[in-house]
Structure 1
Amino acid sequence: MKVHGRSPGTFSLIAPLTLRGNAVVIADLISFLEEWIPPGSAMSRDNPGLQVGDPREELRGVLVALDVTPAVVEEAVSAGVNLILSHHPLIFTPLSRLDQTTPLGGMIAKLVRHHVAVYSAHTNLDASGQGVSMALARALEVDKPRFLAPPESRWLKKLAVFVPPDHAAAVREAMARAGAGVIGEYTHCSFNLEGTGTFQGGENASPAVGVKGNLEQVLEVRIEMILPAWKAGAVVRAMQAAHPYEEVAFDLYPLENSDVSYGFGAIGDLPMPVSLEDLVQRVKERLGCPAVGVMEGPSRNIARLAVCGGSGGELVEAAWKQGADAYLTGEMKYHTLLDYKDRITVLLAGHYPSEAVIVPEWAQRLRQWLDGRPVPVIETRVMTNPLTYQI
């Protein structure tokens, strides 16, 4: 993960499998993923989603990997799968040309020739409550990890709509089903206030209440529900479909709140405090990294641990302010380390080892969703870490 600002976590639910006949198509898997880790929760500079391929094709198998490299593409082709699910996007910046003599152009051409699609979930997976940093925290035995930093405020909106009382329940339910009214572990959250609405229908109007041409005063309920910004279109459409009025009066506006369902990094207490030496050994064993960079802080016993997969230098301030004895991430800028020297212990495990923990968890989640369907889910055997460690 690379943080520019902040980003989101989400519900631990398995969406129902939608089948076209007896086949599972790539679009089915994408629908499941986007309910769990919506692309709209990614950071603005990111490029999650379908990178290459036809979502209408039948799903023959999935290869789960951190990166898409020529070796990973060959692994997918050799295994006979037709979808690579990666954490890091294959295409991060817009392409101005597709030159097959370049590594990226060659990979895309090979993927297209062999009908292998690529779908990536990057900062939206980082921000999930079942994402990279939470998997990293669990691997290191952090008890009941919580988000270290909130997401950007741009992710939340509020919809306020004015409804006749006898239609209020139906409109609330339609909005909730479309994704509004979720606050943490609670759904169907709304505020309702009765008041008087006025309107006067024109010559071509067909009012559901009253008579056109008359200035009507009617009892209405103002319903307010919070919603993720990326679900605004779906929620508004659902509300309008359930609303009895010909012209619906509603307000949709952004909020400065942080969405508690999403966040970056993770922090929590270890079941028992451990020495720095024991924590380093645990990191090596659990993450499979032969070396760990350590900047020693004031505490030699680690009781509270904060983590962030990938490049998490921007969250060290949050870790320090929340009383973490140590902060583990993949990599951090030199001068950021200097700024926090003697304030907090920092462990650098490497970008790849700090994120690779998500691959088996991601694969297992897909197997659960497939629920016994004959679609193999394979964890890559290709080591895409560009670094080797010579000790």
Structure 2
Amino acid sequence: MKLAELTSYLESIAPLSYQEDYDNCGLIVGSPEMEISQALVSLDCTEAVVDEAIAKNCQVIVSHHPIVFKGLKKFNGKTYVERVIEKAIKHNIAIYAIHTNLDSIDTGVNARICQTLGLQACRILLPKHGLLKKLVTFVPAAYAVKVRNALFAAGAGHIGNYSECSFNVDGTGTFKGNEGTQPFVGQPGSSHNEPEVRIETVYPANLESKILMALFMEHPYEEVAYDLYPITNQYQNVGSGMVGELETPMTELDFLQFVKYKMNASVIRHTNLRGKSVKNVAVCGGSGSFLLKHAIGAGADVFITADFKYHEFFDAEQKIVIADIGHFESEQFTQNLISEIIRKKFANFAVRLTEVNTNPIKYLI
């Protein structure tokens, strides 16, 4: 199949618009039109991973972390980034990154951590703003149900755990077509009043073209009247981190031992224990210190993440236990998640997990 089939599917799951400003998700090396039959999935794209892709005849590497975060000015092999890009291009291997956009979805990286730890009733810790829009359209009353259903099928009308959400008001539409029109109702050159329904529904901004196509396909009017509004509501299904609950509370020490075992962590850096039981747990794969106040605000007893700096540990202030398990450790199951996502859609496409341990940090125990 063509590479574009794979990338389009991945971006339907984790749209590029969900990535953070500093990130560089998407197709980094390769042509969307190239033919692929095997993919190698990894957390990082290193020289060893590219060598593995060459040896296993994989035409594309799907990694969590982008190999390129900012523009490259020279290609002379002095850095590992340059060498990876040069080798991939030389051997016609595509590189695709699915990073903070996969972190942001409610079935993504943080959901996998929650699943691994057996957390329940999980929700996004810091939902994103500016990702939702509202569509308002005016439909002949007899066609309102048909148009609404088409909009819902295209992805509109989701609010939290509810679907097919809309608001509808009966009214009267007026119009007068000129002599070159072919109106669905009324006559050219004559004013017409028509019983209509005003339909309002929210939708993710990244689905706008699909939503509008559904509207135009099912709306009977020659000229479709509609309005699009940006809204600042939080998108509850997209954002940073997650918080959930343990089925049975645990002591802090027992819980940290449990986390160490389940997350295959060699060591956990943590703040002082508070002598309280652990019920609510916040998580963030990768660098999550920016979410500390939100974890505290959500009532979490423990915050599991990585890359906390020395002075940032003081910010816990005995309100929460920070558990820094390491960046690689917090995201190590992401490659399994990516593999499962691909296999679910492309059952006959070969997906291989890298055998290279890309963790650049080693521990002397």
TM-score using structure 2 length: 0.92
Shift of 1:261: 2.2
Q: CA deviation at 1:133?
A: 1.1
Task: Give the deviation of 1:369 after TM superposition.
Answer: 2.9
Cα deviations across residues 144-200 of structure 1 (Å, max 9, x unaligned)? 32222212x211001011111223233223322322122334433222221011222
User: Does the Cα contact within 8 Å between 1:296 and 1:341 map onto a contact in 2?
Assistant: no
Give the counterpart letter for 2:364 in structure 1.
Answer: Q
Match of 2:208 among 232, 235, 240: 232
- 1:357 maps to what in 2? 333
Secondary structure of residue in 2 paired with 1:35: helix
1:87 is matched with: 64
Q: Deviations over 1:195-228 (max 9, x none)?
A: 0112222344333222233332221111112110
Residue in structure 2 matching 1:327, options 303, 308, 318: 303
Q: Tell me the equivalent position of 2:292.
A: 316
Q: Give 1:116's aligned amino acid.
A: I
Distance 1:321 1:109 in 2: 46
8 A contact 2:124–2:237 mirrored in 1? no
Summarize the Cα distance change of 1:96–1:215 in structure 2 as closer, same or farther, 3 Å threshold: farther
> Cα gap change, 1:202/1:91 in structure 2, threshold over 3 Å: closer, same or farther?
farther
2:35 maps to 1:26: no
Q: Residue type of the partner of 2:278?
A: I
Q: Give the corresponding residue for 1:6.
A: none
Distance in 2 between the 1:332 and 1:288 partners? 19
2:156–2:204 contact (8 Å) kept in structure 1: yes
Q: Which one has the bigger strand percentage? A: 2
Is the counterpart of residue 132 in structure 1 residue 72 in structure 2?
no
Which segment is superposed worse, 105-114 or 76-85? 105-114
Match of 1:275 in 2: 251
- 1:161 corresponds in structure 2 to 137
Secondary structure of 1:111 counterpart: helix
Deviations 1:323-342 (A, max 9, x none): 21111111224343222222
Q: Distance in 2 between matches of 1:282 and 1:261?
A: 28
Correspondence for 1:17: none
Letter in 2 for 1:188: E
In the alignment, structure 1 segments of 5+ residues that lack a partner are 1-23
Question: Partner of 2:14 in structure 1?
Answer: 37
Q: Give the Cα–Cα distance (whole angstroms) in 2 for the partners of residues 198 and 121 of structure 1.
A: 48
Give, in whole Å, the separation in 2 of the partners of 1:201 and 1:275.
Answer: 73
Task: Say yes or no: does 1:103 pair with 2:77.
Answer: no
The structural deviation recorded for 1:295 is 0.6
Deviates more, 1:167-176 or 1:381-390: 167-176
Q: Is the contact made by 2:306 and 2:325 (CA closer than 8 Å) also made in structure 1?
A: yes
Partner of 1:7: none
Paired position in structure 1 for 2:231: 255
2:146 maps to 170
* RMSD (CA atoms): 2.1
How far did 1:253 drift? 0.6
User: How far does the alpha carbon of each residue in 1:7-52 deviate from its partner, in whole angstroms, 9 at most, with x for none?
Assistant: xxxxxxxxxxxxxxxxx33222223322222222223443222111
Moved more, 249-258 or 30-39: 30-39
Distance change in 2, residues 1:99/1:219 (3 Å): farther
For residues 206 and 225 of structure 1, the distance between their equivalents in structure 2, rounded to whole angstroms, comes to 29
Contact 1:264 1:308 in 2 (8 A): yes
Deviation for aligned residue 1:380? 1.5
CA deviation after TM superposition for structure 1 residue 347, in Å: 0.7
Corresponding position: 1:115 with 2:89: no
1:52 aligns with 2:29: yes
2:355 corresponds to which letter in structure 1? R
Residue 127 of structure 2 contacts residue 237 of structure 2 at CA under 8 Å; is this kept in 1?
no
Q: Distance in 1 between matches of 2:181 and 2:273?
A: 71
- Provide Cα deviations, 1:84-115, integer angstroms capped at 9, x if missing partner: 11111223224445445543233222212222
Equivalent residue number for residue 142 of structure 1: 119
2:109 aligned partner, one-letter code = V
Name the CA distance, whole Å, in 2 between partners of 1:95 and 1:247.
48
CA distance, structure 2, for counterparts of residue 355 and residue 221 of structure 1: 48
Partner of 1:67: helix, strand, or coil?
Answer: coil
Counterpart in 2 of 1:284?
Answer: 260
| Counterpart check, 1:341 vs 2:317 | yes
Task: Classify 1:321/1:205 alpha carbon distance in 2 versus 1 (closer, same or farther; 3 Å).
Answer: same
Do the aligned residues in 2 keep the contact of 1:41 with 1:230 (CA within 8 Å)? Answer: no
CA distance in 2 between partners of 1:300 and 1:196 (Å): 62
SS at match of 2:304: strand
Sort the Cα spacing of 1:212 and 1:30 in 2 relative to 1 into closer, same or farther, 3 A: same
Q: Give, in whole Å, the separation in 1 of the partners of 2:162 and 2:297.
A: 28
The answer to whether structure 1 residue 389 and structure 2 residue 363 are counterparts is yes
> In structure 1, how many angstroms separate the alpha carbons of the residues matched to 2:134 and 2:330?
36
How many angstroms apart in 2 are the aligned matches of 1:197 and 1:246?
14
Is 1:73 matched up with 2:50?
A: yes
Q: How does 1:358-377 map to 2 (within 5 A)?
A: 358-371=334-347, 373=348, 375-377=349-351
Partner of 2:177: 201
Q: Partners of 1:291 and 1:381 in 2: how far apart?
A: 23
Task: Give the deviation of 1:67 after TM superposition.
Answer: 1.1
Letter in 2 for 1:227: Y
Contact residue 180 and residue 226 of structure 1 kept, 8 A: yes
